[in-house]
Structure 1
């Protein structure tokens, strides 16, 4: 069965969670997902680092074709703004798909989201 909810974890080069530049990039992504009217939730967990505070992850629903298309578009535009940006999409079962690189095409993002959602590449497989 395909997943319909993904945890979206932003990356920015070698910056660690909690770095102000990464926090700003994550906030931008969160705002763009909301602007696109995609249903999102913030998941907060205690920091496992040697620092106080919380780490937050963004969970996005992708249960309809329109939601998937919106998610692909927002991710693609967000990644294009800075070559150091990356995203990790995590399914509820822990399966992860990472999107990173220079000049990432929308088709590449679409394929990565489809893999993260567990959609078969070949209709005969599924």
Structure 2
């Protein structure tokens, strides 16, 4: 049985939202809820750089990892383990910098689609845990 693209995104997002909420709770939820607006206003690369900042919280680092892992899996076919995405941040940013504009837009669109699911699931995870 073949899964739809939305089912694949939803499965990733459920995994990310569950782990993010379990480890960071409301802070992860707030970041996940605000991430799409940040991407729309600032762009994908500035948003990733913001989450990667050395003074950023563990929740921001976790969301950064989730986004890089999710984008790598969905668009590059690389199944990264938790924690590997944040470690690959410099290489990921270099690849985005060198990409064609159509490829950069594809990554941006995919990030927004993945975040759409994560935003919904952080509420469900919180409601279930309460």
TM-score (norm 1): 0.34
Considering fraction of residues, name the structure with more helix.
Answer: 2
Considering fraction of residues, name the structure with more strand.
Answer: 1
Max radius of gyration: which structure? 1
Report 1 or 2 for greater relative contact order, CA contacts < 8 Å, sequence distance ≥ 6.
2
TM-score (norm 2): 0.33
